[in-house]
Amino acid sequence: MMLDPGQLFALTEMGIPVWELRQQDVIAETEINDTSKDIAFAPLPPVDCLIVVSEQDNHGGARRLLDAILFSIGLAPHNSAIVSSTQLAQINRSEIDHKLILAFGDDLVPKPMIASAPSSSLNIITSISLTHLLSEPAQKALVWRDLQSAKASLQRGNIAS
């Protein structure tokens, strides 16, 4: 989807990062599926946290829930960026060192990235998908526990923007 200049200006004024396609290839540490091999994204803005959500969790009620969740732990557009699992897989590893990755869904973070996290400066927290949380409100306590871990990581200064 292309943004018209007015939309781009409004998003920029609100401090919301806008990802743009770029022409050069990005070499990812993980394998990406054939449909997304030719898509590469602009470098990440200087944020503390990457929020990974599925496509279905980035619309409607799930998106409103995500906004409320992020607000509750002090994350805003100036210190976080919402990405898809495809975008995360294509980000150069050096761009995400010293960042927190908060994924709402078990299968959104590439397995090689998860495997290398304990021996690196990358902090990954995986929680319940937003769609599942909306259909199973009793799971709020589990998500809140994950959010407290994320907030503690950000406050400890383990994450450098």
**What is the band of 74 on the pLDDT scale with cuts at 50, 70, 90?**
confident
- Give the per-residue pLDDT at 21: 52
**What is the band of 125 on the pLDDT scale with cuts at 50, 70, 90?**
very high
Rounded to two decimals, the pTM is 0.68
pLDDT over 70 at 51, yes or no: yes
Residue 8 CB neighbour total at 10 angstroms: 13
3-state secondary structure of 100: strand
* Cβ-based burial of 6 (10 A; exposed 0-12, middle 13-18, buried ≥19): exposed
How far is 86 from 47, CA to CA, in rounded Å? 18
- Give the per-residue pLDDT at 135: 92
What domains lie within the chain, and their CATH numbers? Answer: 5-156 (3.40.50.10220)
Q: Could you give the residue ranges of the DSSP H alpha helices within the chain?
A: 5-13, 60-72, 85-90, 93-96, 111-116, 130-135, 140-156
Pairing of β 123-127 and β 100-104: parallel
**What is the band of 130 on the pLDDT scale with cuts at 50, 70, 90?**
very high
Note the pLDDT tens digit of each residue in 8-46: 677 777 777 666 555 444 433 333 333 344 445 566 677
Structure tokens at 10: 């409004």
